[in-house]
Amino acid sequence: MTYTLPLLVLLAALALSWPLGKYLTWAMEPKSPGTARLIWEDLARRLLGSLVQENQRWAGYGRSLLLFNALLFLAVFAVLLLQGSLPLNPDQKTAMEPSLAFNTAASFTTNTNLQHYSGEASLSYLSQLSLLWLQFVSAATGIAALAALSRAMSGQRSVGNFYVDVWRATTL
């Protein structure tokens, strides 16, 4: 009786692994067919311009990943430090203490989501939205890194384009 739930969870994971793996392959592989993808990719190319025009080797991909995550961290860190003077703060929440803001921004950027505060009592609406957005985008960077690693291990010369992969992981 005590093994029923763990066994059901294991069986559900096994049953879902094949279709989800096929879906992720379709979503992250640049040459897979699909008309819905063309609309999103066209929008990404218009928004990001030259960032998405060429495939990257592993070093460029890694630099793009680190730069992107550094910018995410700085943006959310600034929002947490300046929340008292930013919009979407009807309760007039004051700025978060710098070390707590650093820890929060770093943990959400790395998708560990460590919280040493009471969300609604400490954060403005904009700060909460920033952290919520970071929960999705930081997971997308992890999926993009895994896609690049998979391409590299399969022997492909190019590991893709980081910004396109993050776009796909976020929107598809």
DSSP 131-167: HHHHHHHHHHHHHHHHHHHHHHHTT-S--B-HHHHHH
Q: Which of 172, 137, 163, 164 is nearest to 24 (CA)?
A: 172
Model pLDDT, residue 57:
87
How many CA atoms, within 13 angstroms, populate the side-chain half-sphere of residue 57? 2
Tokens representing 49 are 């311009």
Positions of the chain with pLDDT under 70 = 1, 30-38, 40-41, 44, 50-53
Is-contact 146 133, C-beta < 8 A?
Answer: no
Model pLDDT, residue 64:
93
Query: In this predicted model, what pLDDT tens digit does every residue of 20-50 receive, in sequence order?
Result: 988 888 888 766 666 566 676 677 677 777 6
Q: Is 24 exposed, middle or buried (0-12, 13-18, 19+ CB in 10 A)?
A: middle
- CA 19, 25, 28, 31 torsion-angle sign: negative
Model pLDDT, residue 50:
66
